[in-house]
Structure 1
């Protein structure tokens, strides 16, 4: 036997195993869920009035991206998978824990390490952000862990997720760059982030359509389970539009007329897509979020620039 072939085979096998482990970790962290949290942090930074192009490559912004993406969001996603492993065995049996690719012991170790790294990263940006990270991790437990498991409690689950995805990272972005912690700087961001959280509560409801059967079997009272798919889609649409309309109204109150009009115009394509969503929620949910979410997050950034104009 050729030793070089054997070594090559061993080396190739080791490389494949390492790649497989990294791929498994990547799936466990659910990168697709990082994007809205990172975007909220960016909006908060813009709204602070002190964030500019030179800051994009600064250590604070890069650490903020790492925090709001793979660290804090990754921690919360792993926690959700850990506590929802029985539910995922019905809805998503291919997930790492129910599929047996990651043991509960290794999952616990990964979550502990990621949570610690998240808090440290947040503290390095600003001590208050370190506290925000702790609150976000607590929210993830409240959402997924028994006996509270807010996911089972109709509105509460979607609200706490929307707050964690939007209000906390948005305010973290403001705090990271704001020259001072004054009410005139913090309050407009808190109001706008809160109103977009109302809209995001609707988008969270749309995410529930894919798991209706498993939720029903496990007595998880999501809106689609309680009201049926079509009524839940209608409720979601109303929340999505109402939150953005109220945000636009608030921008009018700040005399940011053009920004307010831009937010209102961005609602129109979402409204058009909602007819198909309500008509066929189980088949249109993914398509709706893939298209409509772009207009919603654009409205968030427009609102952030409006707040920036108020507090330059």
Structure 2
């Protein structure tokens, strides 16, 4: 007696929950937080412009960052088939070219909403959208570089939204102290992005993505990431002291010491502890960002 089995139907429409996972809500917080830091640091009163603050936060997180995640997953679908085959695109829950269409539609939506934030907000949105595609898409694909890739992501996650929040609230170019501090925290975020590359180590090695964990090895890459995170914060502390903000400088120093303690744990097992550090040490990092923002607000 033979048993007939019907083929598994091929999905033509994406699973709604898979679409949500495609744009990765867990990644939205850093640029949203950085935009809020920029708004605070501007010194402008926020209550009259709460709508612009809220719109900028939504643009920085769910829209631009979500778009960048969709674009990255589409361009990385072959790597993800090795590293994480359960992701929306390689698993087939976002079938065909739906991942590309979502990324393109969200790129257009980003520009439309960015236009509502005035010339500074729109210009920053254009930069963010172009950077997202430059990071992931051929032939540029800066993700292939362990230096340019994390540097670009750090700039777009921390520096660019900080600058944008300050520019939109002040209706003009931010002051040099704001630009410098935002740039320093963007530089430090390079180390955070390097630790994030640990989860894709095997797939990156096979697909020719030269992340620092691939080119330097996990131990050396983790030590370098720690230095990259710590040194810009030391510079921020020095600047806050120079700008007569000793209490803010002391708080940032305390948060940096907490990170150094977490780094000691990380360096004992870089591959195993990188996700743990990104959930603990990074919290102290972003807390220092807001402390520095309030110090800049007092200077404005």
Instruction: Judge conservation of contact 1:50–1:179 (CA < 8 Å) in 2.
Output: no
- Cα-to-partner distance string for 1:15-38 (whole Å, 9 max, x where unaligned): xxx9x8431221011001100000
Instruction: Judge conservation of contact 1:55–1:61 (CA < 8 Å) in 2.
Output: no
The 1:198–1:138 alpha-carbon spacing in structure 2 relative to 1, beyond 3 Å, is same
Match of 1:9 in 2: none
Instruction: Judge conservation of contact 1:126–1:175 (CA < 8 Å) in 2.
Output: no
| 1:82 and 2:74 matched | yes
1:128 Cα deviation from its structure 2 partner:
2.1
Match of 1:272 in 2: 261
| 1:94 and 2:90 matched | no
How many residues of Structure 1 are paired with residues of Structure 2 in the alignment?
A: 288
- Cα-to-partner distance string for 1:99-137 (whole Å, 9 max, x where unaligned): 111134322222222111111111102222112111111
Match of 1:162 in 2: 154
Unaligned stretches of 5+ residues in structure 2: 1-12
Match of 2:10 in 1: none
Match of 1:32 in 2: 26
- Cα-to-partner distance string for 1:69-120 (whole Å, 9 max, x where unaligned): 1111111111101111111111111111111111343222222221111111
Of 192, 206, 209, the match for 1:203: 192
In the aligned structure 2, how far is the partner of 1:51 from the partner of 1:93? 47
1:158 Cα deviation from its structure 2 partner:
0.5
In the aligned structure 2, how far is the partner of 1:254 from the partner of 1:123? 35
Match of 1:297 in 2: 286
In the aligned structure 2, how far is the partner of 1:118 from the partner of 1:22? 21
CA RMSD of aligned residues (A): 1.6
1:142 Cα deviation from its structure 2 partner:
1.5
The list of structure 1 runs, each at least 4 consecutive aligned residues, that deviate by more than 4 angstroms after superposition, is none
Instruction: Judge conservation of contact 1:82–1:104 (CA < 8 Å) in 2.
Output: no
1:251 Cα deviation from its structure 2 partner:
1.4
Unaligned stretches of 5+ residues in structure 1: 1-17
1:295 Cα deviation from its structure 2 partner:
0.7
